[in-house]
Every structure is written in C-alpha cells, then in structure tokens.
Amino acid sequence: MKEKHDSRDSKRGDFYQAIVAIEYAIGKDLSNFEYLTIEHEGDVSFDNKTQIEVKHHKNKTSLADTAEDFWKTLYNWINQKATFNKLILHTTEHFSTNRKAFLKNWNKSNNEDKYKIIHRIRFKHNLDKITNFKVFDRNIEILTQCDIKQTTIENLKQFQKKTYNKNDFVVLLNDLQIIDTEKDIIIKECKDTSATKYKTWNYQRYIQKVSKNKLIRILDKINIKTQQPIDTELIAELMTYPFFKSIPCKAEDLEEIISVRIAGMIQSKVVGEKKWQITNKQFYAIIQSAAKDFYNDNYKPIFDKYLTENAPDTVGNEYKNKNFVKELGLIKCFEDEISEAIVDNWKTNTLLGEETKKDPMYFDTDYLPYRNEFVLRKVRNKKREYERQDIEIENLKNSLSFYRKAKELPIENYKSIKSYPYFEHGTMQNLVEDNNIKFSWII
C-alpha cells in the first residue's frame, strides 16, 4: 500500500502536483501519452512509462541523505503493484553540499553504486540501544523480507501493538514455539521503533532487507530531479512554452488560464475523486476549454495562405488510391476536375494539420461540426434529389451531375471557418474518405 505523500498534505502541494503534471505532459517529451493519472499509487503517472513523485518545499531546503522524501518514495516504489520504465523524484530541494553526503552522487552513479549508497547512509538511531520490543506494521513488513516462514509472521500478528521488555518478549516467542534461527532475527528486528522519530529510519530498515536483485531493478529506473522551480516559478516557466504562448491573450490572462482554469480544475478533481485519470485527448480538451474565450475572440486560421499555395508535384500519385479519386474516375469526371479535387483536398488537410498543431482541439471543436452539420447535411440532401429522379437516367451520368451541383452548394460559415471554395470542396472529399460516414459520389 502506498504511504501518503507530502503533496497530499496541503492545498499548495495538490496545486503543485497539478502544474507539474501539466509541465511533463506538454514540455517533457511525454506528449504522446495515452493516459495521465494523478494520485494512484504514485503522484503523477503517464501510462506505464513514467511515474513522478512530486515534492514541493517553498524554501528550497536541502535533500539530506536521511530525508523522508527520498526514503518514503523509494519504499512506495518498491511496494507498488504497477511497473514503470522511469521513476522520477521531482523536488524543489537541492542535493546536500556536505562533502560526506551520498545522495548528491545519485544521478552519476551506476546501479551497483546506488545499491551501496542505500546501505552506506547512516541514521543516528541504533537498534542495540533500544530496549523495548513491539510487533507493529513496519516491523512485520521487515520480517517479510527476512528468512522467516509466513506462518510465524501470522502468529506474531496476533500480538501487535503491545510493548514488551526483552524477557517477556522471549517468553512470547518460546510460547509460540518459534525456532531459534527465526527467533534470533525477530529479537533483532522487532525493537520498538514505532515512535515518529524512527519513521524514516524504518523505511530504510525495510529497504535494506529487500533482495539485491529486486532493489537494483528499482534503483535502475530512478532519477532524482532536484532544484525544480516552486509553484509560482513553474507557472511563469509554463507561460513561456510555445504551446501556451500560442494562446492569443495577455500575460495576466495566460497566468489565470494555467493556474486557475487548468491546474485549479485538475486540483479540485484530484481532491474530490482521490484518483483522477484522463486520456491525452481529454487533457488537451481541458486546455482548449480553458482558453476557448480567447480563441473564439482572436483565433484566425490561415485560410488565405492556401488560396495560392501549390500542392507538391507528387500529390497526384500519392492520392491515386484514395476513395474519392477512384469514384470521380468512375463517374467520368474530366482529368482537370479530378486534379482540382486532389489539390483542394490536399490544401484542406494540410491546413487542418497546421491548425491542429497550434490548437490540438481545433479539429474536434471547429472542423468536425462544420463538416458534419453543414457540409454533409447539404450534400446528402442534394444527393436525395438525384436519387429520386427518373430511373431511366444512367446512374453514372446522374452521379456526375450530382457531383458538379454539390460543388456549387453554398456552405455557411462556422466559428473560425469561413466560406472558401477549396476548403468546402476538400471537405466534401473527406466525407468520402471517412468510412464511418458512408458517403459516396455514386448514385
């Protein structure tokens, strides 16, 4: 089970977790993720590729060798069920400058050296100096990593939470008929370290008992990213990302979009639902929704550019197997009509590609409603007129007539999409290409 993280202990920690998720999703080479998950086993996860533990300290303190942030995180990574390719400890703290510190060498160390670091770090506590004994959750976990039968551990669980002196504890173990080799281990490991001051040390005690092979598999994936910007600094940094700079708004509005409309919404969802998961598409929809007021007022797609844009010479050969090209050939369109259809479709889809890079939700929010509710509706209605005509008219000839009339249909503007003939015509060809629509030029 996951130990609770500091990022859940305060609203500021929750907020920082949300903006770190945004940072990695947009600017850390993780933009091709399928699912973003927050607060499930780890703080921020991207599919089974990367998990990020988020630690925010406004005063940018030092990440000491005995820091709870490190040992608790490593403990959780060892015990979580999910597996990830990369594990990142993202912290605003800096490595200790103490020349004897071990963690500061972490990212430069190989797996064997990381394993040695885990065992070289010393806490000020000493088991030999603790005189009382106690069977409690952490000691039971430590015993599971030792050479002790599960039945013995289950018997010990019956006596949790009670504190013993050594004589009484030995009597208990004898009464339970525990063999000597197990008894020696239990006496060594079951000292009463339940006090808060021993909390982080107990994490280390457990981790040091984990098998070397298992531990190294985890250590191999871990990168510690220190000196990360605090919340206010990270928002300012996100405002410089090209993705956000493309939003047509003032700096103060952009800060509100990121901190309130996006991060604030994510924060409220995580707090309310405990675990929060969205798809890549949903993530960008949230951003689009947060910025929609500014896009609607200021967004101007590049339709004029493609009025004079020339298609590459290879486009005819590249498009020859498209459904609409084959159909236009069947209904006996002239070669120049087919060439025009190819060029218009290339212009339309190339423009859509450019616009979607600037606004990932443009295709869904502007283009699909335009295509389905304006273009498709009109051409289908026109096709019905031709389907009702005299059956003696040759179907292909009827289809050609329908195609030419469809190109003349007036299509209304919708949001950012204005009435450009090449775009209307190119969109009509996209209807033929979409197998879900089942539209054809053939009567």
pLDDT digits (tens, 9 = 90+) for 270-284: 876 667 888 888 888
Question: Are residues 234 and 383 located together in one domain of the fold?
Answer: no
Q: Quick one: tokens of 41?
A: 């086993």
Question: Are residues 50 and 186 located together in one domain of the fold?
Answer: no
Find the range with the poorest average confidence among 172-176, 391-395, 406-410: 391-395
Residue 423 lies in a domain: yes
Residue 341 lies in a domain: yes
Residue 294 lies in a domain: no
Handedness of CA 420, 426, 430, 432 (dihedral sign): positive
Q: Are 304 and 349 in contact (CB under 8 A)?
A: no
Q: Quick one: tokens of 398?
A: 């009827």
Question: Are residues 237 and 102 located together in one domain of the fold?
Answer: yes
Q: Are 65 and 303 in contact (CB under 8 A)?
A: no
Distance CA 426, CA 419 (A): 12
pLDDT digits (tens, 9 = 90+) for 146-178: 999 999 999 999 999 899 999 999 999 999 999
Eight-state DSSP code of residue 415: T
Residue 67 lies in a domain: yes
Residue 61 lies in a domain: yes
Q: What residue spans of 28-126 are helical by DSSP H? A: 68-79, 111-120
What is the mean predicted confidence (pLDDT) over 407-417?
Answer: 91
Q: Which residue has the higher pLDDT, 33 or 141?
A: 141
Question: Are residues 320 and 229 located together in one domain of the fold?
Answer: no
Which of 261, 289, 317 is where one domain is finished? 289
Helix (H, G, I), strand (E, B) or coil at 268: helix
Which of 264, 289, 314 is where one domain is finished? 289
Question: Are residues 96 and 166 located together in one domain of the fold?
Answer: no
Which of 239, 254, 289 is where one domain is finished? 289
Question: Are residues 368 and 283 located together in one domain of the fold?
Answer: no
Which structural domain, as residue segments, surrounds residue 30?
6-123+222-289
Distance CA 96, CA 93 (A): 9
Distance CA 422, CA 302 (A): 13
Q: Quick one: tokens of 283?
A: 């993530």
CATH (domain of 117) = 3.40.1350
Question: Are residues 267 and 350 located together in one domain of the fold?
Answer: no
Question: Are residues 308 and 428 located together in one domain of the fold?
Answer: yes
Question: Are residues 93 and 155 located together in one domain of the fold?
Answer: no
Residue 409 lies in a domain: yes
Question: Are residues 102 and 230 located together in one domain of the fold?
Answer: yes
Question: Are residues 40 and 27 located together in one domain of the fold?
Answer: yes
Residue 211 lies in a domain: no
Question: Are residues 113 and 155 located together in one domain of the fold?
Answer: no
> Using 50, 70 and 90 to split pLDDT, how confident is the model at 391?
low
Q: Are 187 and 58 in contact (CB under 8 A)?
A: no
